Amino acid sequence: MIRTQEYNLNFGPQHPSTHGVFRILLTLDGERVVKAEPICGYLHRGVEKLAEARTYTQFIPYTDRLDYLAAMLQNWGYVMAVEKLMGVEVPEKAEYMRVISGELSRLASHLIAIGTYSLDIGAFTGFLLAFRERETTMDLLEELTGSRMTLSYARIGGVAADAPDGWLEKVDKFMDKMPTCIDEYDGLITGNEIFQARTREVGVLKPETAINYSISGPSLRGSGVDYDLRKAKPYGVYDRFDFDVPLGKNGDCFDRFDCRMKEMRQLVRIIKQAIQQIKEIDGPVIGKVPKVIKPPVGDAYAEIETSKGIIGYYVVSDGSPKPYRVHVRRPSFINLGYLDEMLRGYLVADVVAILGSLDIMLGEVDC
């Protein structure tokens, strides 16, 4: 009789494919996962606490550091919460600038997601080809905001600056080019049989479970649940755009990946429409906001759809220039909730595939 033994494997914090300092304590039976215990907190910086010692405006740069791949979306969520608290009217042009820069951020984030996912599966080239387009995206954002990743572009009541001359045309041109690039990734990664064999029917997330665990973003839509805040509860000017919400069928890794791929095509459509519409609008990019921001006593919660899922900011004001409390609902963290059960019964190689398909961002998980 052979005596078999389960053993623990520390997957991380220093591991090439945990996308940061994330640790999973795997209990393995050979190569098969018996139990997985996600351990996070290696990147905890206490952002929520930091907010309490900053003014409302000063907290904006800190939101960049949550999901630093799609910084604009993080800014936007926070700024929306404060605006709701103060009842500030945002000029139309600012809303459009937010949409354009936000969708560019989403593009950058999705490009990283698909690139690193192909790297997780073992194809290096998809990673760098995705980075090539991301570089263009970041150049555009840099031209707009001055920073490449941590944009700090949104302001309470609007955005920091108007688009420089010729910027919108550049974005438009890039968006014309983007679909061919997405076709290239599709050919290189999505269409590859080995890739499909690796990801199909791996890490299946049933729609009911996904809803029960409050999973959001492409991970939720990969399971076939049609819930995109941009469509379901349109914020900003999203109700003026015509776009589809791509959905998966089986809720496996491939569907989640494919959702991101298709979402990129949709956001190209959104940006193109936004550019067309913004050209007819003239006006300021920041509304009438007092110099010292002192919201009335009360609280507000605002949520938007980021590249990872639904990010929600809950801001409590005690009437002073500093928030009494800021809480962030971080989609990456919540999406990780089901990880243990998702990993059970799969091989070590699938651990990487499943974790990558959730597309977590450690800055956001640990906050």
Partner 1 sequence: MFENLFVGIANGLRSLLGGLPLEINEAIVMLVKLVAILVFILVNALWLVYMERKVAAFVQARIGPNRVGPKGLLQTTADIGKLICKEIIIHKDTDKLVFMLAPMLVFVPTLMVFAVIPFGKNMAAIDMNIGLLYLLAIGSLSTLIFWMAGWASNNKYSLLGGMRSVAQMVSYELPMVLAILGVIMITGSLKMSDIIAAQEHTWFIFSQPIAFLIFFIASVSECNRAPFDLIEAESELVNGFNTEYSGMAFAMFYLAEYANMLVSCAMVTILFLGGWYAPFGLDFIPSWLWFFIKMYVMMFIIMQLRWTYPRIRVDQLMGFGWKVLVPLSLANIFVTGIGMYIYRAIGW
Partner 2 sequence: MFGKGLVKGLEITWKEFWSPKTVIQYPEAQNPIPERFHGRFVLDTDKCIVCGMCANACPNKVISLKKQKVGTKQFLTNYVMNIQYCMFCGLCVETCPKDALHFSKVINMNQYFYNNIPLVLVQREAPAEQVEQEKPAAKPTPQLKADALAPTAESEVAASKASDKEGE
- Please, which residues bridge with residue 67 across strands? none
Q: How far is the CB of 192 from partner 1 (least distance, A)?
A: 6
Residue 158 CB: number of other CB atoms within 10 A?
Answer: 25
Q: How big is the site for partner 1, counted in residues (CB under 8 A)?
A: 30
The nearer residue to partner 2, 176 or 226, going by C-beta atoms, is 176
| Footprint (CB under 8 A) of partner 2, residues 118-137 | 125, 129, 132, 135
Question: Does residue 34 belong to the site contacting partner 1 (CB under 8 A)?
Answer: no
User: Smallest gap, in angstroms, from Cβ of residue 86 to partner 2?
Assistant: 16
Q: Which two tokens stand for residue 177?
A: 């080019």
Q: 101: which 2 tokens?
A: 């820069």
109-128: which residues touch partner 1 (CB under 8 A)? 118-125, 128
- Establish whether the linkage from the previous residue to 13 is cis, with ω within 30° of 0: yes
* Binding of partner 1 by 39 (CB under 8 A): no
Partner from partner 2, partner 1, none contacting 164, C-beta within 5 to 8 A by type: partner 2
61 is a contact residue toward partner 2 (CB under 8 A): yes
* Minimum distance, C-beta of residue 131 to partner 1, in the bound complex (Å): 9
Q: Does 15 bind partner 1 (CB under 8 A)?
A: yes
Q: Which does 345 bind (CB under 5 to 8 A by kind): partner 1, partner 2, none?
A: none
Cβ neighbours of residue 102 under 8 Å, at least 6 residues apart?
70, 72, 73, 76
DSSP codes, 59-72: THHHHHTTSTTSHH
Tell me if 189 contacts partner 1 by CB under 8 A: yes
Restricted to residues 288-307, the positions that interact with partner 2 (CB under 8 A) are 292
- Quote the Cα angle for 172-173-179, to 5°: 95
For residues 97 and 159, the answer to whether their CB atoms sit within 8 Å is yes
How far apart CA 367 and CA 352 sit, in angstroms, is 22
| Partner that binds at residue 349, options partner 2, partner 1, none, CB closer than 5 to 8 Å by kind | partner 1
- Segment 233-292, which members bind partner 1 (CB under 8 A)? none
Phi, psi of 10 (to 5 degrees): -80, 110
Reading the block at residue 107, the tokens are: 């593009």
- Does 184 bind partner 2 (CB under 8 A)? Our answer is yes
Cα(141)–Cα(164) distance, rounded to whole angstroms? Answer: 11
Binding site for partner 2 (CB under 8 A): 49-50, 52-55, 57-62, 64, 125, 129, 132, 135, 139, 142-147, 150, 152, 160-161, 164, 184, 187-188, 191-196, 292, 320-322
